[in-house]
Structure 1
């Protein structure tokens, strides 16, 4: 597959159909060439699904099959929508609409409300918490902040599942929901009713009402539905495994009796069932559309073979073969570093250890923005924030204050708008730097931490975005400002230069060069609240999502105890049974991975058993003598270090290590395992 994506020329001419198709691999090309009828794309992590569907849209426009104004691409996050718009614009088809379900529905609701209902659309309540608290107070329920959060989640589940207060007890029971925030289903049903009353009295609607009201208008007003169906003739739905019943109902109304729809999804990345999302629309797509074509994207261009192998193994142990829609990834990148497995004494030690490894990666040249620490619950971030602050490592917590809501960003945009109206010499990035210097930006990051560093990182993100835009297309200051306005409306934030701290759920759809999966222990992954086979299966998929965020460096770790000196009774996640290398018998913390570079440095940098390393060298020398080859032809020194660090007990554990491919496994796998056990290997 070509690594260079065609883009519109400076004069505005889009790439030709042949150029578009030539830039894709055979499976992606099949997606881009299937321009009519229902199409289902089963796309594994890192397989280029966004590339495939944007090129499909561009191909349809270039060949005259699609009017770009009649295409609606639907994503699940504002960030994904912004990325898709940027890609489509780069391909010369910027007139295509790419929006989230809610953004598309709100636009239609705002347009049709005056003629369908009259007046203006009610104000959207930014947060449910005050309304939930008011409803609970009317019912005499004692609730705290956490209870309000849980009740708000239950309100959202009911609404996206199209469950009314009157039908809530039956539907919730059928779905296996037993209570919410400690309140029984009948009480929650009453709260749902009072919550709706409180909204009506205040004259506001909530986020889910945007979809519900749009569905109501389209279902009741055939003239309105006809206008929408005239406007949009072709639909592309990304992340289709996360569609809720309410979103599917809206999609059905958009389509009418037509079938010009392409859906893209991966059942192995279904991690939002608790919100009402369900993969059944993806798995049952052929039942709903018997004539639909199905294309599988399986070649992972994101991650190294070591990461891909681990991801596949995690799902294989769940019996993936039982789900015909699941995709088994095939690595498309060269071999990389082995996956690391670290065990620490306590949570603080884990955070400090990860900080040390991150500092080492940064010295190797890995940018902070390309490193992430992922965990199961948001509460786990605190220990990492403290460790990183002490180590002088910049970080940002994903899910915090929105980028475009920050005071320094708002002020910078005002200054940039003013500069866009002036006639200035020089390039757009030069102008952006000059303007932001006046706002406090400087070329080098400040030594201070906290608010000072966070302010600089926000401004520096704008500088980097200016460079990125200038590198991809010809844009002046007004073009840059327009891009910022569009991104602000969609909350499509630029990359901030810091290590990302994020929950596994918040990491969905993102990727980094280096990923640390922290706290992979029982009680956290799977979380102790997960009950039943379906809930445990979703927790396993969360681990899979976390693994597949990594491009090259991947470390999994857990701590035996929460606090220093604790009992140390935690055990690593059951999802890694048979995968996690056996613990070192030395009694020290064991780091199960090898670094590339000079062997002596690697041995000193890791907790490697020197006796095992020497046994492996002796065995290698015997094999080399037997086959009359140099020792490196058997295994490199760095591979011996990796084996001595990991101490694999099974072939699948050995296969994760760098330098051990199928040929080496077949030739030497049994002998290597014998050496690790301390047995005398049988030379063949």
Structure 2
């Protein structure tokens, strides 16, 4: 997965990678090779102010890194005086890695927060004095204390909303005393009555000051104030950094702009890069106004538009352009919208599928994904994207039932996970005494005590830990395949380089992610699901501006796809429910005018008789776990505990032999249902949710033998004897 299409095959010439001499520093002219005309214009515009409007997949990271490297190579600026600002540590790491390869390893590429923290820490004793504050990365605990001090009892979800609202107030430079008037003027709907939010906000700031706590917003504000109030410090910082590049400029908020202006002073050697059509964080205070107003702020600025899309097929690009053409009054000015021009060969047409209910949609999507994998598309190059995280559960269930491995995006950064930090420490120590043993075997041996078992464990958290370690082991195999003879020290060096650039190894599984979490990523195949009114646009998007932000979110989802794009929606939440949902308005002009139900387009339509009832009390089953078990979760149902343990032992052996997570064979809920119902024959086994035709064919005889009393050892022996 890349951030600007760099990972996809490209034609030679304008979009080919720059040829950099192995082991040497590229010359200035070599840095310009392979750039298309617009990228070349951006790279040669080495003096600011410069504004690069870069559409999705047009190679913006490529353009700005080559611009920086070219400016360094031609003597325009020393590399240590360049500050490239991004919004995520991953993007900063990727930029540092590219610049290092282009011969500019000393360029500083940091997030706003990382750059501010570095400066504030360095000058703290001189500029502020006193004990250094404790930096907090989460406001939840302090907001909870503030709410209690105001007499409010709020649950954890309300606390998260309050913390988010306080962050918005701080980045927009709204003080507690002004909060009520500001939200009224902005038409914003806070999580509590505005007066109550203002009280909690004020109490939060008092507690933060009392306990010497520093949040990210205050850190930016203090850094900007230090530069404004101390000319001597401002001079030192401005003499250090003379050349600025800001990526994703459409996502800058007022507080970040305040700090950027402090860094710049009266200079204008700045290059900004962004796309107003990918503004999806205005709810958090971001505004595209600084990008769209750049010409007004700098009338003499150079403007470059990157329009050649190297990521997606013409079919996907056509959808993306159509989505933006339909934008309404709340969208960015038309002169700032980019009409993408596809550069890749033709691909399959995007699909639009309507389902009767959510379980039918999830099951069908899982089946399509399984077919894609069978056709040769790697699982890691497939994503299911949805509007809210709550939609993830149905697809986790369906993919598990289909035997497709998956990973849910949004967990901790890979190299920040405790198990990965422990693994790096262990591998680094072992590399000092490397005795030349086979690298892959050594890595697996060292990771075993940390949790890399032969059988993937049960439980989501344990599985996520196992997946992280398994990704390291897979990376060791990849390194060994690419560099025969590589030893443990070579592998550790590779890991250190990846950690420095936040280049995490991929887990061989389908990605499940929200549309917001998918920003900056790309896959060969993307499934956009749950595309109904009330979900996209979300139900609380009421103003034209809010609706257009939802449209931009849809656009971001579409442009994540390189080749396969599948869009779907369901008319009801549950089987047998009222089919009252309507497809998203964003699909107007894209899908057929009179879309047929799924069954009329070759999709298996979910039958009306699929309404399931509890086999204990007869109630209609709505939740996925209940439907799988065939009963209400709180209805008693006896089962053979020894049979359940035999099933689990057999599953562990199968998952180990196939080198897949245990849930890919059968989920816990499916094993529980089998143990409860003890199916005597294939027909009854097939009726259990989660079995399915493919698993029935593959595992049916083994399951029936276990239900009849056979041991896992006997089943395994029988399988071996039948294997030719």
Same fold, judged at TM 0.5 (above)? yes
> 1-side partners of 2:542 and 2:54: how far apart?
29
Structure 1 residues 452 and 203 mapped into 2: Cα distance closer, same or farther (>3 Å)? Answer: closer
C-alpha distance in 2, partners of 1:411/1:463?
14
Q: Which residue of 2 aligns with 1:548?
A: 559
Work out the CA distance in 2 between the residues paired with 1:114 and 1:251.
23
- Pairing partner for 1:345 from 343, 347, 356: 356
Matched, 1:212 2:221: yes
Deviation at 1:454, TM superposition (A): 3.4
Query: Contact conserved, 1:389 with 1:449, CA < 8 A, in 2?
Result: no
Report SS of the residue matched to 1:80. Answer: helix
Residue 406 of structure 2 contacts residue 512 of structure 2 at CA under 8 Å; is this kept in 1?
yes
Which of 309, 316, 332 pairs up with 2:318?
Answer: 309
Which whole-Å CA distance do the structure 2 matches of 1:438 and 1:2 have between them? 50
2:19–2:30: 8 Å Cα contact kept in structure 1? no
CA shift, 1:476, in A, is 7.7
Change (3 A) 1:344 1:261: same
Q: Secondary structure at the match of 1:540?
A: helix
Listed one character per residue, the Cα deviations across residues 326-372 of structure 1 (whole Å, up to 9, x for unaligned) are 11101010000110111111111111111101101111111111111
CA distance in 1 between partners of 2:387 and 2:217 (Å)? 26
- Aligned counterparts of 1:151 and 1:89: Cα–Cα separation in 2: 41
Is the 2:359–2:575 Cα contact (8 Å) retained in structure 1?
yes
CA shift for structure 1 position 280: 0.3
Q: What does residue 186 of structure 1 align with?
A: 195
The normalised TM-score by structure 2 is 0.77
Structure 1 partner of 2:433: 422
> Which residue in the other structure is 2:290 paired with?
281
Question: Match of 1:494, SS?
Answer: coil
**Using a 3 Å threshold, how does the CA distance of structure 1 residues 165 and 486 change in structure 2: closer, same or farther?**
farther
Look up the match of 1:300: 309
Change (3 A) 1:454 1:195: closer
- Provide the C-alpha distance between the structure 2 equivalents of 1:456 and 1:141, rounded to a whole number of angstroms: 41
- Distance in structure 2 (CA, Å) of the matches to 1:7 and 1:96: 21
Matched residues in 1 for 2:514 and 2:327: separation?
23
Post-superposition offset of 1:201: 2.1
User: 2:45 — aligned with what?
Assistant: 34
SS at match of 1:324: helix
State the 1:573 CA deviation: 0.3
**Structure 2 CA distance for partners of 1:351 and 1:605, relative to 1, 3 Å:** closer
**2:513 corresponds to 1:502:** yes
Q: In the alignment, does 2:347 pair up with 1:331?
A: no
Superposed counterparts of 1:231-250, under 5 Å: 231-250=240-259
Change (3 A) 1:35 1:155: same
Contact 2:277 2:332 in 1 (8 A): no
**1:424-439 alignment to 2 at 5 Å?**
424-425=435-436, 432=443, 435-436=446-447
* 1:64 maps to 2:68: no
2:439 and 2:79 mapped to 1: Cα distance? 29
Unaligned runs of 5+ residues in structure 2 are 1-12, 606-724
C-alpha spacing 1:18/1:438, structure 2 compared with 1 (3 Å): farther
Q: Specify the alignment match of 2:59 in structure 1.
A: 48
Consecutive unaligned residues in structure 1, runs of 5 or more = 592-603, 608-684
Q: In structure 2, do the counterparts of structure 1 residues 506 and 94 end up closer, same or farther at CA, with 3 Å as the change threshold?
A: same
Deviation at 1:34, TM superposition (A): 0.6
Question: How far did 1:497 drift?
Answer: 2.2
Moved more, 497-506 or 541-550: 497-506
Q: Which residue of 1 aligns with 2:464?
A: 454
- 1:486, distance to aligned residue in structure 2 (A): 6.9
- Relative to structure 1, the CA distance from residue 190 to residue 393 in structure 2 (aligned partners, 3 Å threshold; closer, same or farther) is same
Residue 336 of structure 2 aligns to a residue in which SS?
A: coil
2 CA distance for matches of 1:564 and 1:84? 48
Q: Structure 1 residues 231 and 511, CA, compared in 2 at 3 Å: closer, same or farther?
A: same
Q: CA RMSD in A?
A: 2.7
Q: How far apart are residue 170 of structure 1 and its match?
A: 2.3
- Deviation, 1:427, is 8.9
What aligned pairs does 1:637-652 form with structure 2 within 5 A after superposition?
none
5 Å-filtered alignment, 1:376-455, equals: 376-425=387-436, 432=443, 435-436=446-447, 441=452, 450=460, 453-455=463-465
Instruction: Give TM-score scaled by structure 1 length.
Output: 0.81
Secondary structure in 2 matching 1:294: strand
Q: Is the 8 A contact 1:351 1:384 kept in 2?
A: yes
Structure 1 residues 311-332: Cα deviation after superposition (integer angstroms, max 9, x where no partner): 0001101157942111110101
In 2: Cα distance, 1:202 partner to 1:65 partner = 46
Q: Aligned partners of 1:253, 1:427: CA distance in 2, in Å?
A: 54
Task: Tell me how far apart the structure 1 counterparts of residues 459 and 351 of structure 2 sit (CA, whole Å).
Answer: 30
Aligned equivalents of 2:29, 2:438: Cα separation in 1: 34
Deviations 1:32-80 (A, max 9, x none): 1110120000000000000000111111112222211111111111111
Partner SS for 1:565: coil
Tell me, yes or no, if the aligned pair for 1:8 and 1:92 is still in contact at 8 Å.
Answer: no
Separation in 1 of the partners of 2:14 and 2:43? 15
Conserved? CA contact 1:39–1:261, under 8 Å = yes
Preserved CA contact (<8 Å) 2:389 2:514: yes
Instruction: Select the residue among 10, 14, 17 that pairs with 1:5.
Output: 17
Alignment-derived partner of residue 327 in structure 2: 318
Aligned to 1:268: 277
CA contact (8 A) 2:388 2:514 kept: yes
Deviation larger for 13-22 or 534-543: 13-22
1:489-517: CA deviation from partner (whole Å, max 9, x where unpaired):
77654322221111111111111111000
Which residue of the partner structure matches residue 640 of structure 1? none
Moved more, 308-317 or 141-150: 141-150
Q: In 2, distance between residues paired with 1:536 and 1:360?
A: 35
Question: Is contact 1:300–1:331 with CA below 8 Å preserved after alignment?
Answer: yes
- Kept in 1, the 8 Å contact 2:457–2:466? The answer is no
Q: Distance in 2 between matches of 1:249 and 1:408?
A: 38
8 Å CA contact retained: 1:457, 1:497? no
Q: Per the alignment, do residues 321 and 149 of structure 1 end up closer, same or farther by CA in structure 2, a change over 3 Å counting?
A: closer
User: Is 1:134 aligned to residue 159 of structure 2?
Assistant: no
Aligned positions of 1:576-615 closer than 5 A:
576-583=587-594, 589-591=599-601
TM-superposed deviation, 1:433: 5.6
Deviation at 1:404, TM superposition (A): 3.2
C-alpha distance in 1 between matches for 2:410 and 2:170: 23
- Alpha-carbon distance change, 467 to 139 in structure 1, aligned in 2, over 3 angstroms: same
2:25 match: secondary structure: coil
